[in-house]
Chains A and B, each alone.
Chain A
């Protein structure tokens, strides 16, 4: 909505600049000459009306040239002043000359009103109509109009009003077009953003996968080239690690109610397939864990399980303060995972057993 309002604002601002120029040019081009040369009943009144109208235009310039909408108070005061000046100018002319050349105000004030009330179309039409009716009423009440003069006045009034209404219509049309253009541009921007986001996501996925595959690719290459012997304990352990890592990674993007336990279960499955007897227990209700923290929490599980020889105990404990994932496995102490920023990893060797624990303090809810 605000974009539409901005678009309207641009149309109005531009139209107002055109109107300020037109109003100034019309007033001085068509009004100044009769004011100075013709006869008036009250010249001072005609001059005052002329000056008042010029002032209205000048004051409007203050906002119009900065492309700002006119404040309501300025528009209202200006409208009252313009109408007063119009009737002043009409009163200044002799009754017989009303709506003739010395009465330069009749066609002109419509432009002032248009300038003041361009963005308030209903008020504008009402004021224009009121002005027209009042002027014609005054003309008829003076009672001296002959048919020809009346016809000429009517034609002049019709001409002026229709040009002014045309300006209103043009403004509306421009407004609508600029709104449509804004909507189209916005939609295009939205699409572009979405495409950009999708690309970034895809790139992120690719680099994450490449990062995770980091240890797998050289391993596969080594096996394929015959550099690594599948019978060796070390090769087997590296394979176990790669398999568990991959299995955990596949589980990472699954839509499940408890992603952390889902990922740990994937690690446990992978280890069980490799012949490790795993006892797995979970305690406490699920709490939301950011994906990065999940990765850091499950990394020690992957390491310890891939190092396990035959038995392992995996446990997930969730208290009101923290999450603790521990693995106790019959393995050497070489499976070491370093602590990361958010997750504290503790490891130790106890006789034949390796114990790894990852702890994450849950944010207070």
Chain B
């Protein structure tokens, strides 16, 4: 896969230490992601260099008591690729973020490895499912949840339980890339259900390009 230009990110978090740490992690990724802008307010993602960054890394709890879900919705509606990075592991909020069009939801307990993968995936318009989000999807009891195959559910649960794709592939006797394919399929199913968002449509278009699904599957 060719990267025509350097990938860039904007970090929205109310803690300077977190912004600095995330910027440091992103710079060590491969490919490295440069931080176009960062700040404690979501405005930084709408103005200056932040407005054109490939990825928005958004802390859901920006000082206020309520999670910044409306900010997330506005960003997703504008087609921005958002990775939610939250202090709290709350299944319901995680599912709500996916519904609103976030490409990934990570808890801050999940380290650099997952953040880097999520940011790199989001920068190329793909979804990333870290273990905590896999747990939230596996435990999803909502009535309008998409129907997953038995294998997909198994992959979700094993990934949630072990945090290691190698371990999952050993347990289930499949290759790590098949594990990834299952996870991506699951996310496509979620993108096709519920309300529409430009980022979800872009995710589906990307999946068709990647050959994960056919046009007929839509």
Q: Which candidate, A105-113, A122-130, A281-289, A334-342, is the interface stretch facing chain B?
A: A281-289
Q: Are B161 and A283 in contact (CB under 8 A)?
A: no
Tell me if A317 and B171 are in contact (CB < 8 A).
Answer: no
- Interface SS of chain B: helix, strand, loop or mixed? helix
Q: Tell me how far the C-beta of B95 lies from the nearest C-beta in chain A, rounded to whole angstroms.
A: 11
Report whether A317 and B138 are in contact in the complex, using a CB–CB cutoff of 8 Å: yes
Least CB distance from B155 to A in Å reads 13
Residue among B89, B132, B167 making CB contact with A328, cutoff 8 Å? B167
A281 touches B141 (CB 8 A): no
* CB proximity of B214 to chain A, nearest CB, Å: 30
Q: How far is the CB of B212 from chain A (nearest CB, A)?
A: 25
Sorting the interface of chain A by its residue count into under 10, 10 to 19, 20 to 34 or 35 or more gives 20 to 34
Please state if A328 and B162 are interface contacts (CB–CB under 8 Å). Answer: yes
* Cβ contact of A283, chosen from B136, B163, B164, B170, cutoff 8 A: B136
Q: Is A315 an interface residue (CB 8 A)?
A: yes
Return B82 CB to nearest CB of chain A, in Å.
22
Q: Mark B19-40, 1 if CB is under 8 A from A, else 0.
A: 0000000000000000000000
Residues of A contacting B: mostly: strand
Q: How far is the CB of A317 from chain B (nearest CB, A)?
A: 6
CB of A328 within 8 A of CB of B161, answer yes
Say whether, besides A317-B160, A328-B161, A350 and B167 are in contact (CB < 8 Å).
Answer: yes
Q: Name the residue among B138, B161, B167 with the largest chain A CB count within 10 angstroms.
A: B161
Contact: A324 with B157, CB < 8 Å?
yes
- Complex contact B157–A317 (CB within 8 A): yes
- Would you call B139 an interface residue if the criterion is a C-beta within 8 Å of the partner chain's C-beta atoms? yes
1/0 contact trace for B86-118 toward A, CB 8 Å? 000101000000000000000001000000000
Point out the residue from B109, B139, B164 that lies within 8 Å of A317, measured CB to CB: B139
16 A-B pairs with CB atoms under 8 Å apart are: A279-B163, A281-B89, A281-B132, A282-B89, A282-B135, A283-B160, A284-B135, A284-B139, A315-B161, A317-B135, A317-B139, A317-B160, A318-B139, A319-B138, A326-B161, A328-B167
Q: Closest 10 CB pairs between A and B?
A: A284-B139, A283-B135, A283-B139, A326-B161, A315-B161, A328-B162, A320-B141, A313-B163, A350-B170, A281-B132
List B residues at the A interface (Cβ < 8 Å): 89, 91, 109, 131-132, 135-136, 138-139, 141, 157, 160-164, 167, 170-171
